[in-house]
A and B are shown apart, each in its own frame.
Chain A
Amino acid sequence: MLREPALLASEARDGEAQPAWSERRPGGPKRTSGDGAWAAPSPQLTFYFLPNSRPVTIPESAASSVTESIAMRIEPSDSRRGFLAKVAAVACGGIATLAPVAAGVWAFLDPLRRKGAAAAFLPVTDLAAIPDDGVPRQFAVIADRVDAWTGFPREPIGAVYLRRDKGSREVEALTATCPHAGCFIELEGTRCFRCPCHNSTFTLDGGIVQPSPSPRPMDALECRVGENGEVAVKWENFRTGIAAKEASI
């Protein structure tokens, strides 16, 4: 415990002058530096010579050589008043420091209240651009994007693979984002999909090829084909690394 030197003065040994801010350390096991041996217990006195306040510790036996002249006047401490002062000091200091910290944390937490764009159908291409050979083709998804203060009008925001079977008007859409940890899945020739990061492999319709680091098949996206063959995909991001396909927030 820290103790006020003024109180410690009362521990002075009878008949010995002791500076007001000294303290007595009864002998006890104390690790000395270096070899790790325990020093022999010997009572010690620590002096705080002021204005140079570096503590000086001397064996108690040498204390008598410290002259009376070092003893200086010190305001008698009323412990109750002192206690109140301490409480007040800590409280005021806390409040004063709280303002900048609170303002900083408040602003720092701002991203928590921001949400990604809601899933929406975005026009991607038209039917004619997707050969009906069952092989996926990669298309960019274009949309207006807002990044904090900047608005990017009509910018590629991601990629999808679109595929359709012979003679079909139905289009299957797979997001290029790997369900494992979010890398960009590539098409390996016309045989399969492979993620370059940890080699998850998927069939052309997005099915998982075991063994696989990916916990689930590629994420399919809702896809609409309009009257005039315009293909729109419901663009969505999903949480990665889990078996369930859940929209990320």
Chain B
Amino acid sequence: MSQPSDGRGGPLRRLADFLDDRTGWRGLVHEALYERVPGGARWRYVWGSTLVFAFMTQVITGLFLWASYSASAQTAWESVWYIQHEMSGGWLLRGIHHFMAQAMVVLLALHLLQVVIDGAYKAPREVNFWLGLVLMMLVLGMALTGYLLPWDQKGYWATRVATNLAGIVPVIGPSLQKLVVGGPDYGHQTLTRFFALHAGFLPATLVLFLVVHLALFRKHGLHARQPITRPDGMFWPDQLLKDVVAMLAVMAVVLGVILVPAARTMLAGGEVDWGHAGAELGAPADPSQPYAAARPEWYFLFLFQFLKVFEGWGATGEFLGAILVPGLIMGVMFLMPILGNWKLGHRFNVAFTLGIMAGVAVLTGLALDEDYYSLWADKAKVAEAAKLFDETGGDEAKLLAAVGGDQAKAAAIAGQFHTVEKIRRSEAFLAAVKTARADAARAAELAGRPERIPPGGALELVRRDPLSQGPRLFAQHCASCHAHVDPAAPEAATILAKSSAANLHAFGTAAWMKGLLDPDQVAGPAYFGNTAHKDGDMVSFVQNDLQDADSWKPADIEAVIAAMAAEAGHGDPQAPAATVARGRELVASDERCGSCHRFRDNGTDLGTACDLTGWGGREWLVGIIADPTHERFYGDTNDRMPSFGKAAEGSVPRLTNEQIGLIADWLRGEW
């Protein structure tokens, strides 16, 4: 626009002149770049630009993610898994999108802080401040909706909480919740709606507000930090350079978060699994599975903690904590420009904003402290209290008795119970996080098998996985009696002492059988010690008959062990076939085991002792779990074991056949 368009110059120049003549682009660019910066360029002005940059990054990475994402309950987790683990560079793409979202929240806070401290919200810029607040809420809305989209446990449970909170809004709450969730239940419609919000409605609205925000910003000009002591600068290149350096720094931090762990692994000589680099992907969402590691994303942690303040207040508390107080805070922020006209108003605004940020920081700190307390708690100091807590269950009378009536000591110990409980809760949380990580890794591993994910989705895959479901089902249904602990483990003695049925760790192996046939162990807690069979025929057989070296030579016992392990499918492939055959003969013989036990076709009647045919195998295990009172197993001598697969007419058994199979497979180590 400043040069004559006299038709001279290179072809590029002529094209530029031509376009300028028709569009006036030079003027536009000029206008965009030559903004005056009163008092010169400053670092404190960069936050707005970095936010625009962060948003652009989200748009770019978001569009590319969109190209591979599929929003439905059976494909959301699956497609995200595919992006993360299968697509080249998918982990990087997702990582940038994930962490830039978090960076954006931080940048928002910084931008807001700078605007308030510098008084940039005052007349004539009130409207722009309000627009900024709307933009902030839109960004937070995008963060919230985006968290659900991978449809993993983490996002699923966090979103359930968030949408349930929406449900407590007076009058319209339940309808509002239903609208957001897309029905009475979470599923396809929740995902399609959240996706439309996340990638459509919210960003489109955001762009609209952003355009006006920027236009108003240019209209009013930059609000300079007072007093102006330096000469004025220009947006281009002085301020822009600072802006761009800040953007680069933001991107470097985001890339650092993604790449540093991988780089560390590399430096340590390890092999990097890129599928696990960058953003986490939890196990697929499962409404039937408890998820104790559920937490909102860290920048909403303060709200989560704030709600705890109102614990015990019921729905009123939630309304206060999740809606009323945050609403009032937003209300005050909207009033800031008006308050700012008042003499002390600006000071109040600054103090208020700093106060809120400090509050957020403190609440976040408290939340983290509660969750991770056991990592930095001085456990040695409360060791005695912890022991007494376990023994007394926190009961004061019992405690007093335990410390021998010493009132002062009891009081001191009781004073530490709070800390002990806090450690316990934190340990439980950390354990839940660990389980969640293991489940996530397992789900990813299962999905990566060549047969891929079944059309019903990854949840099907996880639900029929003995490795992840076995321990859960065992804990739920079997562990109240049976232990499952390696006898060599340090904590084995304590666990076994508490159990009231056999230790099923390595059941069916030669090692397990060896213990059973050991006179010192058979009546111990790992076998029949804590059961009604403690004084039964088997115990007496092992402790008496088997000790008669004339009839039972050590080699015979070895042979029986080898044969039984082979029966369970855990046989030592190196064991000589003759030994196994000899063992089978002994087991079947009606002068040995066969006098009580049926084994294959030895003709012994069922009912006296359990059938050893196929002992410890899958079919045998499924049978005994389903119905131990069957004559193949304990018949009417069954101790306390429930028949998990049997149910009275018209009701449902405690476990489905599939679940029993999962327990059996897990016990057998088959997955």
Contact B234 A103 (CB under 8 A): no
Cβ of B4 within 8 Å of any chain A Cβ, yes or no, is yes
Residues of A within 8 A of B578 (CB): none
Interface hit among A49-57, A124-132, A238-246: A49-57
Residues from chain B with Cβ under 8 Å of A152 in the complex: 455
- The answer to the question of B222 belonging to the interface, with a C-beta cut-off of 8 Å to chain A, is yes
**Contact partners of A37 in chain B: CB under 8 A:** none
Q: A28-B6, A101-B60, A110-B90 are in contact. Are A75 and B233 (CB under 8 A)?
A: yes
Is the pair A96, B244 in contact by a Cβ cutoff of 8 Å?
yes
Indicate if the CB atoms of B232 and A151 lie closer than 8 Å. no
Q: What is the interface size of chain B, counting residues whose CB is below 8 A from a CB of the partner? A: 73
A185-201 interface mask toward B, CB cutoff 8 Å, 1 = contact, 0 = none? 00000000000000000
When each residue 57-79 of chain B gets 1 if its CB lies under 8 Å from chain A and 0 otherwise, what string results? 10011011001100000010011
Cβ-based interface call for A202 (8 A): no
Instruction: Tell me the A93-140 residues at the B interface (CB within 8 Å).
Output: 93, 95-97, 99-101, 103-110, 113
Judged by DSSP, the binding face of B is helix
The CA-CA distance from A100 to B29 in the complex, in Å, is: 25
User: Do A8 and B2 touch across chains, with their CB atoms under 8 A apart?
Assistant: yes
A2-B29, A2-B33, A148-B82 as given contacts; A104 in contact with B63, CB under 8 Å: yes
Interface size class of A (residues with CB under 8 A): 35 or more
Contact stretch, chosen from B101-109, B245-253, B473-481, B626-634: B245-253
The distance from the CB of A45 to the nearest CB of chain B, in whole angstroms, is 11
Which of A19-27, A61-69, A206-214 contacts the other chain?
A19-27
| Distance A75 CA – B81 CA, assembled complex (angstroms) | 54
A24 to B34, CA, bound (A): 16
Known: A4-B234, A99-B96, A150-B454. A107 touches B1 (CB 8 A): no
Q: How far is the CA of A74 from the CA of B455 in the complex (A)?
A: 67
A183 at the interface (CB under 8 A from B): no
What residues on B are CB-neighbors of A8 within 8 Å?
Answer: 2
Q: Which B residues lie within 8 Å of A113 (CB)?
A: 88
B26–A100 CB distance below 8 A: no
Determine whether A1 belongs to the interface, using a CB cutoff of 8 Å to chain B.
Answer: yes
Closest Cβ neighbor of B452 among chain A residues: A151
Q: Which of B213-221, B339-347, B419-427, B579-587 lies at the interface with chain A? A: B213-221
Q: Which residue of A lies closest to B458 (CB)?
A: A149
Q: Which residues of B contact A96 (CB under 8 A)?
A: 53, 244, 247-248, 250-251
Bound Cα distance A1, B35 (Å): 17
Known: A75-B40, A107-B89. A148 touches B79 (CB 8 A): yes
B221 & A50 in contact (Cβ 8 Å cutoff): yes
Tell me, yes or no, whether B231 is within 8 Å of chain A by CB: yes
- In the assembled complex, A92 has its CB within 8 A of some CB on chain B: yes
Could you give 12 example pairs across A and B, Cβ below 8 Å?
A: A1-B2, A21-B36, A51-B36, A51-B222, A55-B27, A85-B238, A99-B254, A106-B93, A108-B64, A149-B79, A149-B81, A153-B451
**Which residues of A are interface residues toward B (Cβ below 8 A)?**
1-6, 8, 21, 23-26, 28-31, 46, 48, 50-55, 72-77, 82, 85-86, 88-89, 92-93, 95-97, 99-101, 103-110, 113, 144, 146, 148-153
In the A-B complex, the 3 residue pairs with the smallest Cβ-Cβ separation, listed nearest first, are A51-B221, A151-B452, A106-B89
With A53-B35, A107-B67 given, name 12 new contacts (CB 8 A).
A2-B33, A73-B231, A74-B234, A92-B248, A99-B255, A100-B96, A103-B64, A104-B61, A106-B88, A110-B87, A113-B88, A144-B451
